[in-house]
Amino acid sequence: MGHKLFSYFTLPFLVYLYLIPFVCPYHSANSQLDYRFYDRSCPRLSSMVKYGVWAAYKNDIRIAASLLRLHFHDCFVNGCDASVLLDDTEDFQGEKNAFPNRNSARGYEVIDNIKADVERFCPSTVSCVDILTLAAREAVVLSGGPFWPVLLGRRDGTTASQQAANEQLPSPIEPMENITAKFTSKGLDLKDVVVLSGAHTIGYAQCFTFKRRLFNFLGTGRPDPTLDASALASLQSMCPNMDSSNSNLAPLDSASTYRFDNMYYTNLVNNTGLLESDQALMQDPKTAAMVNSYSTNPYLFGNDFATSMAKLGNIGVLTGKKGQIRKKCGSVNL
């Protein structure tokens, strides 16, 4: 199954991306990052990350979406510094138990296993945040999505903040203008909101994140009128109106749950988007125009997703002597 998923979407993307020179406009802003940062100090790094993600994916196809989400949740909270991987300490409450991550963020053990492998060959050399950034890229490629080159040389942060995670991560039930403001505060723009939302082409959401759309939308006592009737009936059967269903899972993209493609946008055009924040992209003329464009042009989406992911991976990075290279990703070095 993994081979089919890889071949379906990846090869056209790779041809497309190599025909069009990939320009990362953020290289100059992060001049201490380099695509070849570990070429001498850890030449097998990319192979070790690729194998680690593949081994996890082979046993749990959902892990691809989980790793992509983990990277997003790391970078969106005080920059890409692997703070999301830190366990709580006496000095700080970390991000693992923040509301957006508690009982939903997954993939920590995949990064820990890759890190242990890397430490055996390249001790105290490669940061946890670079491993997570590479793993997110590999997860997308394994699911049939685009490849993009990753700048390397980030260093790991030495603290984490549960409060920052609660405040800075976008919520699926907050207004689009709030979500857009959170993106722009990170140096991203409206296009990045639409493009990175396309990550919801893979993965699942827990029922509590969208249940009010099914039964009591905005306190009306009725379902969200924008939700397609057949999708509504299907979701109501997956997520009955009782608390015990809150942790049930529904696919973010029911058309191709495990394949990284542009069907997410087709779903929005058809009013079958799962989250409020997804379907809200159709309510603004600017974002709706982009959604329509991506729904008909998978290559455009792939290219733009690669560009936005490169931007995401360069938010608030630590380089040079800032931060550290953690020996274990769950704790800072003593």
Q: Average the pLDDT over 264-288 and give the result.
A: 97
> What pLDDT score does 48 carry?
98
| Average pLDDT of the chain to the nearest whole number | 92
Report whether 253 belongs to an annotated binding site. Answer: yes
pLDDT per position as a tens digit, 46-55 = 999 999 999 9
Inside any domain, residue 213 = no
Report whether 170 belongs to an annotated binding site. Answer: yes
Cα–Cα nearest to 129, from 294, 321, 315, 3:
315
* 3 state SS of 190: helix
C-beta of residue 291 within 8 angstroms of C-beta of residue 216: no
Report whether 74 belongs to an annotated binding site. Answer: yes
pLDDT per position as a tens digit, 312-330 = 999 999 999 999 999 999 9
Q: Residue 222 pLDDT more than 90?
A: yes
Report whether 130 belongs to an annotated binding site. Answer: no
Q: Residue 290 pLDDT more than 90?
A: yes
Q: Can you give the pTM of this predicted structure?
A: 0.91
Residue 116 sits in a domain whose CATH number is 1.10.520.10
Q: 155 phi and psi, to 5 degrees?
A: -120, 155
Report whether 79 belongs to an annotated binding site. Answer: yes
| Chain CA centroid to CA 120, Å | 28
Q: 26 phi and psi, to 5 degrees?
A: -100, 0
**How many CA atoms lie within 13 Å of 100's alpha carbon, on the beta-carbon side?**
24
Inside any domain, residue 124 = yes
Q: Average the pLDDT over 66-84 and give the result.
A: 98
Q: How far is CA 203 from CA 110, 148, 207, 249, 254, in A?
A: 17, 21, 13, 9, 10
C-beta of residue 201 within 8 angstroms of C-beta of residue 264: yes
Inside any domain, residue 261 = yes
Inside any domain, residue 319 = no
> What pLDDT score does 31 carry?
64
> What pLDDT score does 326 carry?
98
Q: Average the pLDDT over 287-312 and give the result.
A: 98
Report whether 175 belongs to an annotated binding site. Answer: no
Please state, as a whole number, how many other Cβ atoms lie within 10 Å of the Cβ of residue 58.
12
**The domain containing residue 106 runs over which residues?**
44-203+252-313
Q: Average the pLDDT over 116-133 and give the result.
A: 98
Please state, as a whole number, how many other Cβ atoms lie within 10 Å of the Cβ of residue 289.
11
Report whether 304 belongs to an annotated binding site. Answer: no
Cα gap 215→242, rounded to integer Å? 10
Q: Is 101 exposed, middle or buried, given 0-12, 13-18 or 19+ CB atoms closer than 10 A?
A: buried
Cα-based angle 59, 64, 66 (whole degrees, multiple of 5) = 105
Two tokens, residue 37: 């940062």
Inside any domain, residue 224 = no
> What pLDDT score does 11 carry?
41
Partners of residue 318 on adjacent β-strands: 155
> What pLDDT score does 14 carry?
42
Cα gap 98→105, rounded to integer Å? 10
Active site residues: 73
Cα gap 199→305, rounded to integer Å? 8
**Strand pairing class (249-251; 204-206):** antiparallel
Q: Residue 2 pLDDT more than 70?
A: no
Q: Average the pLDDT over 114-136 and give the result.
A: 98
Inside any domain, residue 127 = yes
Q: How confident is the model at residue 91 (pLDDT cuts 50, 70, 90)?
A: confident
Report whether 243 belongs to an annotated binding site. Answer: no
Inside any domain, residue 163 = yes
C-beta of residue 53 within 8 angstroms of C-beta of residue 67: yes
Unique residue bearing structure tokens 């600017």:
286
> What pLDDT score does 30 carry?
59
End-to-end CA distance of the chain: 44
> What pLDDT score does 21 carry?
40
Q: How many domains does the chain have?
A: 1
* 3 state SS of 333: coil
| Chain CA centroid to CA 77, Å | 13
Q: Average the pLDDT over 217-231 and give the result.
A: 95
Inside any domain, residue 106 = yes
